[in-house]
A and B are shown apart, each in its own frame.
Chain A
Amino acid sequence: DAGITQSPRHKVTETGTPVTLRCHQTENHRYMYWYRQDPGHGLRLIHYSYGVKDTDKGEVSDGYSVSRSKTEDFLLTLESATSSQTSVYFCAISERNSADTQYFGPGTRLTVL
């Protein structure tokens, strides 16, 4: 299994509060990704990173920001959480280029009340 951890694994928060999810990898892979999984939608890309301090938007990036100050850590921040951001969030990594297979972390279940 790829060395990917996510924290926290579960979180319940209230509307309007900031939330930060962390993805940590021990594989020294270049690419890191954040997805959300919702019923009827599969997984959808939020943001991704192709190197330290290099990030770009995915298809559902509104309301989210990311940061990557070290190769091993990729943070996803919800500046002001809304109920529509209740979801399961997955981090993924790929080794050298974006055409490499992505390997996923265990996921974080976030509930916004």
Chain B
Amino acid sequence: AQTVTQSQPEMSVQEAETVTLSCTYDTSESNYYLFWYKQPPSRQMILVIRQEAYKQQNATENRFSVNFQKAAKSFSLKISDSQLGDTAMYFCAFMKPSATSGTYKYIFGTGTRLKVLA
């Protein structure tokens, strides 16, 4: 079975500090994609960052960057210079093609609730 594990249910960080959220996944596939989504209290699911498994370079979007370790099946999210608006639930997601249909499908982790403290 394909699984995504986020081992930190809750985390907190001081404003302006750096925090890292962990995510591990289990797959035998070589072609897949990884994502981090943010869900603030508004409930909207917002894309933070996307990583293609075939790319060795870690993706970066402004204050958000990932540490993608393919051999270890690890995909952590680093948030630099944390802001109050970063307070949210963060979901790691893994996408791979279905063995039967070939359609790519997401598998989500259970989320990490991050609170940024003033």
A98–B44 contact, CB under 8 A?
A: no
**Would A88 and B91 be within 8 Å (CB), given that A42-B108, A43-B108 are in contact?**
no
A74 within 8 A of B: no
Residues of B within 8 A of A (CB): 4, 33, 35, 37, 42-47, 50, 91, 93, 95, 97, 101, 103-106, 108-111
**Residues in chain A near residue B108, CB distance under 8 A:** 42-44
Chain A interface residue count, Cβ-Cβ cutoff 8 angstroms = 22
What are 20 of the A-B contact pairs (CB < 8 Å)? Answer: A40-B110, A42-B4, A42-B91, A43-B45, A43-B91, A43-B106, A44-B108, A48-B105, A50-B103, A58-B105, A88-B43, A92-B45, A98-B105, A99-B97, A101-B35, A101-B47, A101-B50, A104-B45, A104-B46, A106-B44
